[in-house]
Amino acid sequence: MSNTSLRVIARVAAKADRVEQVRAILMGVVEPTRREPGCLSYQLLQNQADPTDFTFIEEWASTAAEVSHFATPHISGALRQLPGLLAAEPDIRRYTVLM
């Protein structure tokens, strides 16, 4: 059986004094993203030991669905708000399920 879905792990590091702002922006994209065509799963996690560390765990039906995600108003709006609030560029990694 072939699994053609795309898994994405996206880490976002907030500046220590901007955690609440970053959390609000990131939480604001979760529900609209879950309603996007091709979104199979979309979770936002916050590290218990380091509250500046946020991680999205995502599953998309296809690469095209994930690419379209970045063109949505909620994501493009969030990306416009985040500069200056982050300690580093987001680390986005894309995976194929092997087994």
Q: State the chain's mean pLDDT as an integer.
A: 95
Q: Which domain holds residue 70?
A: 6-96
pLDDT tens digits for range 57-89:
999 999 999 999 999 999 999 999 999 999 999
The CATH number assigned to the domain holding 84 equals 3.30.70.100
Supply angle C-alpha 80, 84, 90, rounded to 5. Answer: 70
Is residue 13 a part of any domain in this protein?
yes
What's the pTM? 0.93
The answer to whether residue 28 sits within a structural domain is: yes
Position 15 in a domain: yes
How many domains, the chain? Answer: 1
Q: What is the pLDDT of residues 1-35, one digit of tens each?
A: 346 789 999 999 999 999 999 999 999 999 999 99
Residue 19 located in a structural domain: yes
Distances (CA, A) of 12 to 54, 62, 79, 97, 98: 5, 23, 11, 23, 26
78, 25 in Cβ contact below 8 A? Answer: yes
Domain annotation covers residue 1: no
